[in-house]
Amino acid sequence: MTTIPKSHPRLNSLLIREKLVNGFDNNLVAKEGLLAHGRGEAFDYLIGEKTSKSAKEAIKAAAIMLKNAENSVISVNGNFAALCPKEIIQLAKNTDSKIEVNLFYSTEKRKKAITEILKKSGAKEIFGLNKKSSIKLSGIDSARRIVDKNGIFSADVVLVPLEDGDRTIALKKAKKKIITFDLNPLSRTAQTADITIVDNVIRAMKLLVKESKKSIRGNSKYNNKKNLQVSILEIKKNLERQAKNV
């Protein structure tokens, strides 16, 4: 492990990167997960490495959607498990959601490591591990098509962080409501989901856990298309501010 000087101007970002690298060394994160994180870092830089107003709006709407769901599921991949295992369990408790491990680059070794860290963080029941209850979602080629009959397959709301576009589209076709975290507001997932939280999952999950502790009922007037437009304008403003300081 490298020592990061505490005075480094981008300390938080380097600490997050270190979590990912540790996750890779401990078999949680796929090689491709490191690349995905690199892309995320670039977008995080553009949004100013802090939670924007539009992301806060999306977080509030996500808490309402999860609290009002009949059968919500939190889908866990390698990056998500490496970055916020404790928050996954807290959010599941606060919103009465199930937890399902569902991987794009699926291997038994990674599934086992992810299951272990979730259990160590307090998970009691984890879906997506029992082959007998697995079923295929149509419209996806990757391993992500294999889902749990009692988990994602029968869910009305699915939280899919750092997701690939194909599965988001397939889940939408299967009439699920989708919440995602994606630092890239232009990705297919960001554009297809019902609620897109354009923020680093490590910051946004903490806020979503806090928000989900409140007792929230009813519909929110949230509009994802409008909120995505705001998040793109926030990036533009941030860049203009930075350009003035060059």
Which residues are at the interface with ligand PTJ (CB under 6 A)? 30, 32-33, 36-37, 39-40, 43, 77-79, 83, 103-105, 162-164, 181-184, 187, 200-202
Contact in structure between 49 and 12 (CB atoms under 8 Å): yes
19 vs 119, beta carbon nearer ligand PTJ: 19
Considering the complex, what minimum distance in angstroms separates the CB of residue 7 from ligand PTJ?
A: 24
- Please tell me whether 167 is known to bind a ligand: no
* Distance of alpha carbon 7 from alpha carbon 10, whole angstroms: 9
| Two structure tokens written together for 196 | 């897109």
68 vs 229, beta carbon nearer ligand PTJ: 229
Positive or negative torsion for Cα 113, 118, 122, 128 = negative
CA 182 vs. chain centroid, Å, equals 7
* Distance of alpha carbon 74 from alpha carbon 89, whole angstroms: 9
* Distance of alpha carbon 78 from alpha carbon 66, whole angstroms: 22
| Two structure tokens written together for 145 | 């098509």
Considering the complex, what minimum distance in angstroms separates the CB of residue 12 from ligand PTJ?
A: 12
- Please tell me whether 184 is known to bind a ligand: yes
- Please tell me whether 189 is known to bind a ligand: yes
Considering the complex, what minimum distance in angstroms separates the CB of residue 163 from ligand PTJ?
A: 6
Considering the complex, what minimum distance in angstroms separates the CB of residue 233 from ligand PTJ?
A: 19
- Binding residues are 17, 39, 182-184, 188-189, 200-201
